[in-house]
Chain A
Amino acid sequence: MRVPGRTDDHEWSQQHLSHYVEGDLSPRARRRLDHHARDCVDCGRGIRAMRALVYVAHGLGGLAGVRAPETIFDRVRSAGAG
């Protein structure tokens, strides 16, 4: 069986950064990514970037004062009256 080299680990890690921050990796896969990211600047930065992305996206949540239009039930009322 072939032992994965650095290039394999790097590409695999880059593809699994979201799984990593989501906690979707098996313990073995998580160890693999942890081990690789310890020595890989790109993947270390990638983990931080992915965490930041999730954080920023969560910050977009909420209504921020947006209200549904008054007309939202107009078609229901027309159908109900019909």
Chain B
Amino acid sequence: MRSPDGRRAPELRDTEASLLARAQAGDVAAFERLSGRYADRLFMLLLRLLGDRTEAEDVAQEVMLRAWQGITRFRGQSSYFTWLYRIAVNEANRALEKRARRPAGVAIGPEELQLPAPAVLDPSRQAENSELRRALGRALADLPPPLRTALVLRDIEGLSTQEAAEIAGIGEAAFKSRLHQARLRVRAAIGDEALASSGG
């Protein structure tokens, strides 16, 4: 219900805590509203980790099912977002392990990485940017999943080291070690000249 000025009435405003309590009591609609707040971001994470839209859609459904099945065990030691993201990373890793047993490799395309193309770049700069995006996509795809996860969570998603480590399910020192290894490998794959020309 909305008031005449279009804003929701305060009594109907759902806080995360109230949605969580209702979801834990078995209210599917409350669970959907709670988790739906993070659905777009979670799906984007899966696209970045998996590099395949069809697989990301399948894993996203599985993440939500796992979250629903486990929501009564969520005790609030972390934020709901962190808990949900951790399930997503675990499910993505599980999917990547399955894929590793199949012959075809992962192919993360620049469209999955979603680098926004600045509209005001001159054509030569746009070409460089586009090439760099593809190079980064290839370099990410070649990383072992634990290193890719570290770089995606920290550098692309922009999470703090503490939160990213918690989502990855490892300690901060181990997470940083993975992040540094990932960056060194990506830098080596792209090359210093290409990176320096990005203007970053």
Binding site for B on A (CB under 8 A): 15-19, 22, 24, 45-46, 48-69, 71-77, 79-80
Contacts and interface: CB of A to CB of B under 8 A. Distances in A.
Contact of A22 (B47, B176, B195): B176
A66 B132 CA distance: 21
Nearest to B42: A68
Nearest to A75: B65
Describe B's contact surface by its main secondary structure. Answer: helix
Contacts of A18: 179-180, 183-184
B186 A53 contact: yes
B43 A69 contact: yes
Contacts of B21: none
B158 A76 contact: no
Contacts of A51: 200
Interface residues of B, number: 48
Given A17-B184, A53-B200, A71-B61, 9 more contacts: A53-B155, A53-B186, A60-B48, A64-B115, A64-B116, A69-B57, A72-B64, A73-B35, A80-B68
Interface in B39-74: 39-44, 47-48, 57, 60-62, 64-65, 68-69
A76 B157 CA distance: 26
B75 to A, nearest CB: 21
Contacts of A64: 44, 114-116
B32 interface: yes
Nearest to A59: B115
B151 interface: yes
A50 B183 contact: yes
Contacts of A58: 155-156, 158
A72 B60 contact: yes
A67 B132 contact: no
Contacts of A52: 195-196, 198-200
Contacts of B132: 56
Contact of B196 (A48, A60, A61, A75): A48
B155 A75 contact: no
A25 B184 CA distance: 16
20 contacts: A19-B180, A22-B180, A45-B196, A50-B183, A55-B198, A57-B155, A60-B48, A63-B44, A64-B114, A66-B44, A66-B114, A68-B36, A71-B57, A72-B39, A72-B57, A75-B62, A75-B64, A76-B28, A76-B65, A80-B68
